Amino acid sequence: MTTERRQDECVLITGAGSGIGAVMAQRFAALGARVVIVDIDADAAERAASQATGAIWFQADVTDRGRLAEVFREVRDRRGPVSVLINNAMTCADADFLDLTVEEWKRDVSVCLTAAFHTAQLALPDMLAAGHGSIVNISSVNALQYLGNVSYSAAKAGLISLTRSLAVRFGADGIRANAIVPGTIVTPAWDHRIAQDPHVLEDSRRWYPSTRLGRPEDVADAAVFLTGSQSGWINGESLIVDGGLMAGNVAMAAQIVPDERSR
């Protein structure tokens, strides 16, 4: 993990009350950044802020443009303009495509995609004035191939396209936009699936060439890298952080060539 100090940066992270977002907040705070935690759950946001040195928190529904505008104004007054924006808020409907409701579709798209449009529009004026800035959108391997959860997958694919659009539109202004594309990351977001199937995560390990599932720290380290000077010429990219999942299906390979893993 890079140890480049970030004391001159104001880092706003949505969906940072727990899981990946909370660990990202801790990582950036440890490097000296002025961290802003935004989450729909006020208790979770407050708890996460208490674990990230110097962080402040706001309760906000990321689908509420008016509330987000209030947050950005207050952040500017209290911590200065946002120089690093990380769009991490998510929700995911479990329904099969034929059972998916319009409301579930709209909710996934609103939280996972439209919210990033809102926050980027709110952050960019200050980034443009400063002549620099970094936006990181947390997508998913669901954006790259069918893994169920159709509305979530479509929204996350849209997020990659939004990332590329921002990178091209604002690259000449010193602003970079990149996406992180995680595989299965063990966070509280999995709790409802574990309640349905206690073995779901253990069973998922067989898909991964690295033989383990992801940790929030894996994504946090990628976010620190993509927003730092060591990645200064990386723009418009989607960094896959998945232990090799998208490189190939290890479980299928083992079936086709039974002794493949023993060589």
Can you list the alpha helix ranges (DSSP code H) found in the chain? 19-30, 42-50, 65-79, 102-109, 115-130, 150-170, 191-196, 200-204, 216-226, 250-256
* Catalytically annotated residue among 106, 146, 156, 208: 156
Angle CA 91–64–117, to nearest 5: 75
C-beta of residue 36 within 8 angstroms of C-beta of residue 75 = yes
* Catalytically annotated residue among 106, 146, 152, 208: 152
Alpha-carbon distance 105 to 101, whole Å?
Answer: 6
Q: For the chain, how big is the Rg over CA atoms in Å? A: 18
C-beta of residue 60 within 8 angstroms of C-beta of residue 44 = no
Q: How far is CA 95 from CA 103, 108, 168, 187, 194, in A?
A: 12, 12, 35, 20, 16
Per DSSP, the three-state class of 210 is coil
156 is catalytic: yes
152 is catalytic: yes
Catalytic residues: 152, 156
